[in-house]
Amino acid sequence: MSATTEQLERNFTHRFLTSLRRINSPDSKTTTTHAAGLVIRRRSLRIKRAAYSSMARAAGSHRAWTRALLSRARSQRRRQQHDVHPNYIPPAQRRKSSVKRAAAAGREMGRAGKLRGLVPGGSRMEMGQLLEETAHYVQCLAVQVRVMQAVADHFSSSSSM
């Protein structure tokens, strides 16, 4: 593992564990009455978002995909705080930007369009930059998966010991 990958891993692990702690301990959500499955699902969504955000912050903002991911997370959080039902997406916003961008990415020749849809911020980049960002994104995703797996292993073994 190269030095930058190790540094990235440490950075991400630190941030991710911090946000995990925040999600786990002061859980005010559990006092509200929700269906059992929904509580778990909500929590897993929060963890997923926390993982992506901490990875984006750890990777640094000189990458286009990290900026796009963080801005997407920010707008999601704002929408969540304002809406009554978190899964509700205001129709105006949906119509304006995201559909147009998704359609543009889909209109592009099949595979490149798919890749743009997968990589955050991909619809704005042209091909060369898209490939470069994809390479870095794949690297960071691999680190993220490795760390999350280790954390899951640690928790699953320590909680049942």
Partner 1 sequence: MQPCSREMAAGGLNSPTTTTPSHQFQLHDLHQIHGGHHTHHFDPSSASADDFLDQILSSAASSPWSSAAAADLIKSPWADLAAGDSTHDDNNNGFFNDDPAAINLASKFRHHQINGGDTNNNHNNDNKMMLQQQLLMASAAAAAGDGAPLSLFNGFGSGSIQPQQHFHHPATQGAGGGAMQPGQSFGAGGGQSGAAASPGKSQPQASGSTGGAATASQGKPRVRARRGQATDPHSIAERLRRERIAERMKSLQELVPNANKTDKASMLDEIIDYVKFLQLQVKVLSMSRLGGAGAIAPLVTNDMSSEGGGGDCIQANGGSNPANGGGSESSMTMTEQQVAKLMEEDMGSAMQYLQGKGLCLMPISLATAISTATCRNQPSSPNLSVLTGGDVAVKDSTSATKP
* Tokens linked to 122: 């991909």
**The only residue of 2, 4, 81, 87 in contact with partner 1, by rule CB under 8 A:** 2
**The only residue of 3, 4, 30, 91 in contact with partner 1, by rule CB under 8 A:** 30
In sequence order, the 6+-apart residues with CB closer than 8 A to the CB of 118 are none
Whose tokens are 């006092």? That residue is 31
Whose tokens are 């929904």? That residue is 38
**Does 25 help bind partner 1 (rule: CB under 8 A)?**
yes
Q: Minimum distance from CB of 18 to partner 1 (Å)?
A: 9
- Euclidean distance between CA atoms 4 and 21, whole angstroms: 26
- Euclidean distance between CA atoms 141 and 135, whole angstroms: 10
**Does 73 help bind partner 1 (rule: CB under 8 A)?**
no
Q: Are 102 and 117 in contact (CB under 8 A)?
A: yes
Question: Residue 26 in 3-state DSSP?
Answer: coil
Q: Are 115 and 122 in contact (CB under 8 A)?
A: yes
**The only residue of 78, 94, 96, 154 in contact with partner 1, by rule CB under 8 A:** 154
**The only residue of 51, 64, 69, 105 in contact with partner 1, by rule CB under 8 A:** 51
**The only residue of 3, 4, 14, 63 in contact with partner 1, by rule CB under 8 A:** 14
**The only residue of 67, 73, 108, 139 in contact with partner 1, by rule CB under 8 A:** 139
Report the residue number, 22 or 95, with the smaller CB distance to partner 1.
Answer: 22
* Tokens linked to 133: 């960002």
Residues in touch with partner 1 (CB under 8 A): 1-2, 9-10, 13-14, 17, 20-21, 23-27, 30-31, 33-41, 43-45, 47-48, 51-52, 111-112, 114-115, 118-119, 127-128, 131-132, 134-135, 137-139, 141-142, 144-161
